[in-house]
Chains A and B, each alone.
Chain A
Amino acid sequence: MTAESLTDPSRTVSVPLLRQQVLVLYLLNSALDSCVVGWSRYDGTGRTVPTTGDSEEPPYQTGLDALKDGWRLIQASQLIPPYPGHEYDVSFLKHEFFFERIVHVDQEMTGF
């Protein structure tokens, strides 16, 4: 490709339209291959609108199953010792794993 062709205003360049989908899985313990106890989804394509209480069964049985289906792990919650004096408190879910998938907006989607 020449410099002239890149600056030619009559030339049409096909750019893939990519969007991010995010899957959050909450697991039984800190191991990625432990069972899913909670899940959330966010769809950057806008084609689906996941929301609170919209499903009864998780999309995967374990975090590892999501990897096998092509999701990329982008964040895992740290293991933080309890604050002194609060060892028996319960609060947020501890074992949170964020996954992403980049999709073409014209691509058929499965598993979402």
Chain B
Amino acid sequence: MDNRQILLSSVQMARFVAHGSLRLDAVVPQDMNTEALAVLAQGVPSPRHGTPLSKAYAPGSFTARLLEVPQVAGALRSLVGPEPLVDHHAVHVREPRDKDAQALHADAIIDVRPDAFDVQLMYYPQTVTLEMGGTLSVPGSHLRRINESDTGRYQNLRGQNRLVCPAGTVVFVHHGIWHSARRNDSDTTRYMFKIRFNPTVRQQRLWDTSDLHDPRVIAELDTMFPWYEQAAGRLERYNRTLLWRALTGDPDFDLDYWVTRVTNRPQEATA
């Protein structure tokens, strides 16, 4: 196995901060994808909550090898740092012609940490077609303060992402992302393997920061999504700015002056 880690760039990190997710298409080799279908069908033994990654999966096991794929290992390191804890994992199976989609939700419970986040790895060993009901996710929803399935009333949002992907795709999502397993209208059982990771170090400049001042960083952070209300969309960028400040350690970073303007409270008296 190739033990390299391909770290994320600043542009990719900015995209994660704006979208709440990062997609790596077909990064897992096909022989592992074929193996995964048998492994996932049998179930994967769960480590205890909070097991350090190096102790969670036996060396050489399928999951250990999945996490050693250079793009996967590098993204994980960039997002949560070295030796994260394995919160839990789950094999998600959507049977053919099932009746319902999941309600739109965020996992676990409301989690409003301003300067830390968990990530969830979602691995798709098969080619996922629209008909197979790939995961629905709502880009840019991760900073909204909601609790689990209280968002179940929302069926469709403009610009939502109905995942269609090649086999071997891995998606990393922020813990707050709104998502749902869509209804499987196909004749094929669909598998997804999810692992949640908790950081054990401060999540600051863990990625390849050599492109930190690339103009595309600002462009990614400034992304607006079609489902945002006009006014709340501005608050989204305000909150992204605060997260980017925490991740970079730059207390003066701003997007279009959104934060600077409303925190300006001069204390100097006139001369």
Chain A positions within 8 Å of B, measured between CB atoms, are: 24, 26-29, 36-41, 49-56, 58, 88-95
In the complex, the chain A residue whose C-beta lies closest to that of B180 is: A52
Given contacts A53-B180, A54-B101, A54-B183, contact A92 B157 (CB under 8 A): no
**From A24, A52, A58, contact of B102 by CB (8 A):** A52
Q: Is the CB of A51 within 8 A of B158?
A: no
Q: Is the CB of A39 within 8 A of B229?
A: no
- Complex CA–CA separation, A67 to B133 (angstroms): 32
Report 26 cross-chain contacts, Cβ distance below 8 Å, ordered by A residue: A27-B229, A29-B230, A36-B158, A37-B226, A37-B227, A39-B156, A41-B155, A50-B155, A51-B183, A52-B102, A52-B136, A52-B154, A52-B156, A52-B180, A52-B182, A53-B104, A53-B133, A54-B101, A54-B155, A54-B156, A54-B182, A88-B262, A89-B235, A90-B232, A92-B151, A94-B232
B119 to chain A, nearest CB (A): 20
Q: Is the CB of B160 within 8 A of A53?
A: yes
Mask of B150-172 contacts with A, CB within 8 angstroms, 1/0: 11111111101010000000000
B214 to chain A, nearest CB (A): 27
Q: Is the CB of A93 within 8 A of B155?
A: no
Q: Is the CB of A24 within 8 A of B162?
A: no
Which residues on A sit within 8 Å (CB–CB) of B162? 53, 56
Chain B positions within 8 Å of A, measured between CB atoms, are: 99-104, 133, 136, 143-146, 150-158, 160, 162, 180, 182-183, 226-232, 235-236, 238-239, 262
Q: Is the CB of A90 within 8 A of B155?
A: no
**Given known contacts A39-B156, A40-B154, what 5 new A-B pairs fall within 8 Å (CB)?**
A52-B103, A52-B156, A53-B155, A90-B236, A91-B145
- Complex CA–CA separation, A12 to B54 (angstroms): 76
Q: Is the CB of B101 within 8 A of A51?
A: yes
Q: Is the CB of B239 within 8 A of A88?
A: yes
